[in-house]
Amino acid sequence: MALTLYGSDNWNSPYVLPVFVALREKNLPFEVKTVALDEGEHRSPAFASRFLTSRVPTLLDDDFALSESSAIVEYLEDAYPAPKHPRVLPAEPHVRARARQVMAWIRSDFMAIREERSSELVFYPHDQVPPFKPLSSDALRAVDKLMTAAESLIPTGSGSLFGAWCVADTDLAMMLQRLIKTGHAVPARVRVYADGQWERPAVKEFLGKKRPAFRPVAP
């Protein structure tokens, strides 16, 4: 087993984050290789010829390469299962399906929030990145939908969605932090949940990575 995670050298990808966390939570040794997205390194022949989608994250497990964060997480759960490696998705089928639903939803919805509250605003000091404007009406509607779902999903008095941590918690917390880090008011219980997820050791390790001066990704 030789695991290599390819990710952005800015350490600001909301999709690399859950894969990094899943690898740490499973106690798997892995190497990180960073890719300069702002320079278009992911589109270089050397990268594109090895990896199907020319995107990060990409996981290389010996000679098997896999991209797309949710696919990587599920692969890790299958290839490195419990009890030898801690679970990163729930064991019970219905709960596991719900966690997958949350992860897919976070990735496929809330475009207005993602566009108007970029991940750089979560991972970089705000004086180092382009300033943000008040949320548009589309984004505010997305926020309302997100908060309704979050308040429904987050159990009272629980630090995780499904009784025990899973990687869907990291994904949901990342979306919530886009709002929290930019001063948007969120319900107290939702903020406690999101901030608690941000204290998880694997997440804190990712947050603490040394980042170069912010550079926009090349079009």
Split at pLDDT 50, 70, 90, the class of 38 is confident
Q: Is 32 helix (H, G, I), strand (E, B) or coil?
A: strand
Pinpoint the residues of the chain covered by CATH 1.20.1050.10.
93-203
Tokens of 149: 């779902």
Characterize the bridge pairing of strands 31-35 and 3-8: parallel
**CATH for the stretch 93-203:** 1.20.1050.10
The C-alpha R_g of the chain, in whole angstroms, comes to 17
Taking the C-alpha atoms of residue 70 and residue 68, their distance in angstroms, rounded to an integer, is 6
pLDDT greater than 80 at residue 44: no
pLDDT greater than 80 at residue 208: yes
Contact 177, 122 (CB under 8 A): yes
Strand order of the β-sheet with 58-61 is: 31-35, 3-8, 58-61, 64-67
Model pLDDT, residue 157:
80
Strand partners, 146: none
Query: Residue range 180-193: average pLDDT?
Result: 95
Split at pLDDT 50, 70, 90, the class of 147 is very high
Model pLDDT, residue 165:
97
Query: Residue range 148-160: average pLDDT?
Result: 90
pLDDT greater than 90 at residue 1: no
163: left (phi over 0), alpha (psi -120 to 50) or beta: left
Pinpoint the residues of the chain covered by CATH 3.40.30.10.
3-87
Q: Give the model confidence (pLDDT) of 88-124 as tens digits.
A: 999 999 999 999 999 999 999 999 999 999 999 999 9
Contact 161, 200 (CB under 8 A): no
Topology given in CATH for the domain delimited by 3-87: Glutaredoxin (3.40.30)
Dmax over Cα atoms in the chain, in whole Å?
A: 50
Taking the C-alpha atoms of residue 181 and residue 97, their distance in angstroms, rounded to an integer, is 30
Query: Residue range 26-34: average pLDDT?
Result: 96
